[in-house]
Chains A and B, each alone.
Chain A
Amino acid sequence: MSSLLGFIFLVLSVLLSFITIASEIYRKLEFKNFLIISRASTISILFSFLCLVYAFIISDFSNYNVFQNSHSDKPLIYKIAGAWGNHEGSILLWICTISLYGFFFSFQLNVEENFKRLTLAIQHTLYIFFSIFVILTSNPFLINSINVNQGLGLNPILQDPALAIHPPLLYFGYVGYSLVFSFAIAVLLKKNTNNHWVPIIKKWSLISWTFLTSGIALGSYWAYYELGWGGWWFWDPVENISLMPWIAGLALVHSLFMARGERILKKWIIFLSILCFSLSIFGTFLVRSGILTSVHSFATDASRGLFILLIFFLITGFGFLVFLIRAPENERPLDLMFINKTSALIINNVLMMIATITILLGTIYPIFIEILTNKRISVGGPYFNSTVIPILLPGFLLMSIAPILSWQSNKIKKTKLYVFSFLLLSIIILAQSYFTNFNTWGFLGILLGTWIIVASIIAIITSHKLVLSFKYLKNINAFIAHIGVGILILGITFSSIFKIENNFFIEEGEEMKLIDNTIIKFEEIKITNESNFQSLRALFLIKKNNKKTANIQAGKNYYFVSKTITTEAGIYHDWLKDIYIVLGNQEDNKWFLKIYINPLVSFIWIGIVIMIFAGIIGVIKK
């Protein structure tokens, strides 16, 4: 019943979207009614989505999708999350999000009526493309042709709280760029001369970027504790795909900061706005078509891939065509100097673009090679580490001082102070790393990270008087974001380069010695039965300087329904390091154990949280 209702709401919503677009073309409706129909379409698709969630909650196995992806023994939260833990449901969520962005945009103030109408009409067009995709190839409301009383279950690796909210956050990021796209196209079509659109596009692209950041971070945190590989970023194709619109979006946000007065790179902003959404769709195509080998390959079907490719070409082609025909002129030549804010921002944007292109190239290169030479090659982490990181390095150096550069001249206030502190910092860090464990990348990473933090703090102290107000926070927001990046760089450097790994092969009751007087005692093995899985846990006691500090558990889960085993890493969090235990196989009475000591992993998450915080501050109006 709920399936039928859901489908009806879906179709109704598409019809309402058609009416919205038709009324924009024929101009038959008043603005007020136009908005009502547009919003009704969103409400209708929301109902449709709720119907699907409801079908999952009550385990309605007459729905084919529920039957395929759910099981009545699952805890409630995973029943709900199961609604978007599969291809059909997640695409329904995707179109819901397109519609929701249009819905929220319809309440945006300070937009001319014509402008809003056109943007919404374009947004509805995008919505219709994707909803036809849902109806034709990925309908989540299909009826199960056989009568069953049990489902096949959700992929156990997805049964995790972080992963339950990871897809919605990610989609709010990806799909947010659809609105930025629609708005940019509307700007091109209207050829309007004033620059009122700049703050609006800034706000929406910042919202999308913030969601995308949280989505990626959550996915990466999940990979850290769930995959049990000891790391948190693997240059997996699907990770790369999410990184592309993220970097392009970051470039967009930065180029929007150049929108001061007349000095504005209109062409570039519009180009990036179109690009971000194109990359989002292209990413969806790559993931959904299954032509990439990845930990995420759970939904693969060639016809779906082709359909999305078609949509991708239509939308991107249309977008860039309009761009070519009606590209706005930059009003004034740029004041490039060595080095002022304008040129710093341009360097930043270009480097980000090159990084994006490199990631794209590395991700799709194996596909080309396979088609052309029939050979399979892999492009993995080592490639990206040795291309993307060196390319971004100058950008990282620049960002430490970029916010204090001036627009018109190439002078910086208090240059001496900066030069001096940079020198001092390099000497200290060089000495420190020389006497401990010298590593070129480690040294560079630490220097960059600390320098970004120090320079930003100097800049905050010297150029803004401390006042406890929101305006102050807003003024130093760029520095806050950059401090977040600095902390992130430190976390990445330490946790990847100075990671220590220990392998043990021991029995219950034995102890293991690690660095700085830490002893881990392998206490016992415990097996318990949960509602939908059996858990095997090894209990450990961590002692430091002979004092008990913590208990942690590491183990595996065995899921009955899908007959799969997942790794559950045991992690002891500390501000300065994580102790990360992975339980391996058993031989006789002994167990293989892998224990990683990951220094400063917490800095990664702290850095990202600071960046997200800065994103939120940036969105909120004064």
Chain B
Amino acid sequence: MSRSIHYYKIFFYIILLVSLNLPQIVFSKIALDEEVKKLTLQLRCMTCQNQSVYESESEFAKDITSLVKKMFEEGKGEDEIKSFLVERYGEYILFKPKFDTKNLVLWLFPFVLFLVFFIFFIIRLKKNS
């Protein structure tokens, strides 16, 4: 092993560490408005063309925004509000599809592909060296 390979590995470990050790949760209280924003960004404005409730100026979007705000103030959680909206308007309202059996392929396929390639690549590397 030459020295440069050694450095090289260090370089990659650093990248790995930096990306893993990021403080994932910031312990600060997110204001109500921020929560409303976060959720309404994920909701489709049903009367617009591919626009989120948050970005839209339509009547529908205004109604939904105030509804979401009210529900948050009543102490309901994000999931509760989402399932309420899905019951009322159908899953079409969610821009980020639910993680369920129907959407399994959608959510897992890209990462499975990624993993398969990763494993395949490592096997090829071992063979070569």
Contacts of B2 in A (CB 8 A): 411
> Count the A-B residue pairs with Cβ separation under 8 angstroms: how many?
136
Are A416 and B95 closer than 8 Å at their CB atoms?
A: no
The residue that A444 contacts in the complex, of B14, B19, B44, B97, with Cβ under 8 A, is B19
Give complex CA distance A517, B90 in Å: 46
Complex interface: stretch among A137-145, A418-426, A458-466: A418-426
For residue A227, which residue of chain B has the nearest CB? B51
Given A354-B114, A361-B110, residue A378 in contact with residue B41 (CB < 8 A): no
Residues in B neighbouring A354, C-beta threshold 8 A: 110, 113-114, 117
Q: Does A373 contact B (CB under 8 A)?
A: yes
Per DSSP, chain A at the interface is helix
Contact residues in A for B92 (Cβ distance below 8 Å): 376-378
A335 contacts across to B, CB distance below 8 A: 128
Instruction: List 15 interface pairs A-B (beta carbons < 8 Å), by A numbering.
Output: A354-B110, A357-B110, A358-B109, A369-B103, A373-B102, A376-B90, A377-B91, A381-B52, A382-B95, A387-B107, A387-B111, A391-B114, A426-B14, A438-B23, A438-B26
List chain B positions with a Cβ less than 8 A from chain A.
2, 4-5, 7-8, 10-11, 14-15, 18-19, 22-24, 26, 41-42, 44, 49-52, 55, 57, 90-97, 102-103, 105-107, 109-111, 113-114, 117, 121, 124-125, 128-129
Q: How far is the CA of A378 from the CA of B51 in the complex (A)?
A: 11
CA separation between A284 and B30, bound complex, in Å?
Answer: 43
In the complex, chain B residues whose CB is within 8 Å of the CB of A416: 7
> Cβ of A379 < 8 Å from any Cβ of B?
yes
CB distance from B91 to the nearest CB of A (A): 5
Q: Are B19 and A347 touching (Cβ within 8 A)?
A: no
Given contacts A377-B97, A378-B93, A382-B96, contact A230 B55 (CB under 8 A): yes
Give chain B nearest CB distance to A464 CB in angstroms: 21
A338 interface residue, CB < 8 Å from B? yes
Q: Which of A472-497 contact B (CB under 8 A)?
A: none
Give min CB distance, B86 to chain A, whole Å. Answer: 10
**In the complex, chain A residues whose CB is within 8 Å of the CB of B55:** 229-231
Q: Which 6 A-B pairs have the closest CB atoms?
A: A380-B95, A382-B96, A376-B92, A358-B110, A415-B7, A411-B4
- Complex partner residue of B50 from A295, A362, A411, A585, CB under 8 angstroms: A295
Q: Which residues of B contact A418 (CB under 8 A)?
A: 11
How many Å from the CB of B104 to the closest CB on chain A?
11
Partner of A336, one of B105, B106, B124: B124
A397→B7 CA distance, assembly (Å): 17
Once the chains bind, are A415 and B128 in contact (CB under 8 Å)? no
Encoded as 1 (CB less than 8 Å from any B CB) or 0, chain A from 319 to 334 comes to 0000000000000000
Q: Which residue from chain B places its CB closest to the CB of A239 in the assembled complex?
A: B50
Partner of A337, one of B49, B111, B129: B129
In the bound complex, how far is the Cα of B121 from the Cα of A584, in angstroms? Answer: 54
Within 8 Å of chain B (Cβ to Cβ): is A350?
yes
A343 within 8 A of B: yes
* Chain A residues within 8 Å of B128, by CB: 335-337
B50 lies within 8 A of A361 (CB) = no
Q: Using an 8 Å CB-CB cutoff, how does the interface string of A287-326 with B read, 1 for contact, 0 for none?
A: 0000001110100000000000000000000000000000
Q: Is A375 an interface residue (CB 8 A)?
A: yes
Task: Give bound CA distance, A358 to B19, whole Å.
Answer: 23
Nearest B residue to A585 via CB reads B57
Q: A residues within 8 A CB of B91?
A: 375-378
Asked if A412 is an interface residue, CB under 8 A from chain B, the answer is yes
Instruction: Name the residue on A nearest B37 (C-beta).
Output: A501
Minimum Cβ distance to chain B for residue A445 (Å): 12
Pair B42/A382 contact, Cβ less than 8 Å: yes
* A540 adjacent to chain B (CB < 8 Å): no
A365 interface hit (Cβ, 8 Å): yes
Tell whether, in the assembled complex, residue B23 and residue A234 are in contact, meaning their CB atoms are under 8 Å apart: no
A225 to B14, CA, bound (A): 41
* B residues in contact with A411, CB < 8 Å: 2, 4-5, 8
Given A380-B96, A426-B14, output 13 extra A-B contacts at Cβ < 8 Å: A295-B49, A343-B125, A350-B121, A354-B117, A357-B113, A361-B106, A361-B110, A375-B91, A377-B94, A380-B42, A382-B41, A410-B5, A418-B11
> Residues 199-243 of chain A: 1 if any B CB is under 8 Å from the residue's CB, otherwise 0?
000000000000000000000000000000111001011000000
Cβ contacts under 8 Å, B102 to chain A: 369, 373, 375, 377
Q: Is the CB of B117 within 8 A of A378?
A: no
Q: Which residues of A contact B114 (CB under 8 A)?
A: 354, 391
Q: Give the distance in Å from the alpha carbon of A418 to the alpha carbon of B24 in the complex.
A: 27
Closest chain B CB from A346 CB (angstroms): 8
A101 CB-CB contact with B under 8 Å: no
Please report the C-alpha to C-alpha distance between residue A585 and residue B62 in the assembled complex, in whole angstroms. 13
| Chain B residues with CB below 8 A from A237, complex form | 50
A171 to chain B, nearest CB (A): 23
Chain B residues with Cβ below 8 Å from A377 are 91-92, 94, 97, 102-103
Asked if A383 lies at the interface with its beta carbon under 8 angstroms from chain B, I say: yes
| Interface set, chain A 115-142, CB cutoff 8 A to B | none
Tell me whether A440 is interfacial, beta carbon within 8 Å: yes
- Interface residues in A425-455 by Cβ distance below 8 A to B read 426, 438, 440, 443-444, 447
**A419 cross-chain contacts in B, Cβ below 8 A:** 7, 10-11, 14
- Give the complex CA separation of A397 and B111 in angstroms: 18
Please provide the chain A residues from 364 to 411 with a CB less than 8 Å away from any CB of chain B in the complex.
Answer: 365, 369, 373, 375-383, 386-388, 391, 393, 397, 410-411
Residue of A nearest to B106 (CB): A365
B93 in contact with A362 (CB, 8 Å): no
Selected from B4, B15, B22, B24, the residue in CB contact (under 8 A) with A397 is B15
Cβ contact of A378, chosen from B14, B44, B57, cutoff 8 A: B44
Enumerate chain A residues within 8 angstroms of B49, measured Cβ to Cβ: 293-295, 297
Chain B neighbourhood of A230, CB < 8 A: 55
Contacts of B97 in A (CB 8 A): 365, 377-379, 383
* Nearest B residue (CB) for A443: B22
Closest residue of chain B to A380 (Cβ to Cβ) is B95
- CB of B95 within 8 A of CB of A423, answer no
A426 touches B18 (CB 8 A): yes
Given contacts A379-B97, A418-B11, whether A391 and B110 have CB atoms under 8 Å apart is yes
Contacts of B11 in A (CB 8 A): 415, 418-419, 422
Q: Which residue of B lies closest to A365 (CB)?
A: B106
B110:A584 contact, CB within 8 angstroms: no
- Chain A residues with CB below 8 A from B15, complex form: 397, 422
B112's nearest neighbour on chain A, judged by CB, is: A354
With A229-B51, A237-B50, A357-B113 as known contacts, state yes or no: A381 contacts B95, CB within 8 Å: yes
Which chain A positions have C-beta within 8 A of B96? 380, 382-383, 386
Whether the Cβ atoms of B50 and A294 lie closer than 8 Å is yes
Given the known A-B contacts A378-B44, A378-B93, are A412 and B4 also in contact in the complex, defined by CB atoms under 8 Å? Answer: yes
